[in-house]
Amino acid sequence: MASMDWCSDIGGIKGVDQYVLVDHRGNVMIHDMTEFENVAEVVWSCGRSLSVLGKKKFKYAAFLRKSKKDFLIFPVGKYYLGVVERKGCVTAEVADAVMDFLNTRLGERG
């Protein structure tokens, strides 16, 4: 994943409100959110922990929130993508849209 050009289109995915992409060490690669530092740490920690399941089993993790703006984490090669969905969206539909985007742009299943 030499080029990060594809990242600028993440915000255009249907249902995505905010996002942060971190590398395997927790460094923020790109983001579109306020207070991203704490969120990035959660994305990295959860992504790393869930990755022990293996790429074939860990497609995404969803954290349901009272605000109805659920939070999703996707493995993306050596990176982890954290997404805050727009209020009122269906989490499974947002997850499918993100994974379709990743498949199309990167040729791998999120």
- Could you tell me if 106 and 77 are in contact, meaning their C-beta atoms sit under 8 angstroms apart? yes
- Could you tell me if 80 and 44 are in contact, meaning their C-beta atoms sit under 8 angstroms apart? yes
Domains and their CATH numbers in the chain: 5-106 (3.30.450.30)
**CA 6 to centroid of chain Cα atoms:** 13
d(C-alpha 4, C-alpha 77), whole Å? 12
- What is the reported pTM? 0.86
Neighbours of 33 (CB within 10 A): 15
pLDDT tens digits for range 29-72: 999 988 888 899 999 999 888 888 776 778 899 998 877 788 99
pLDDT band at 80 (very low <50, low <70, confident <90, very high): very high
- The mean predicted confidence, pLDDT, of the chain is 86
User: Residue type at 4?
Assistant: M
d(C-alpha 81, C-alpha 65), whole Å? 18
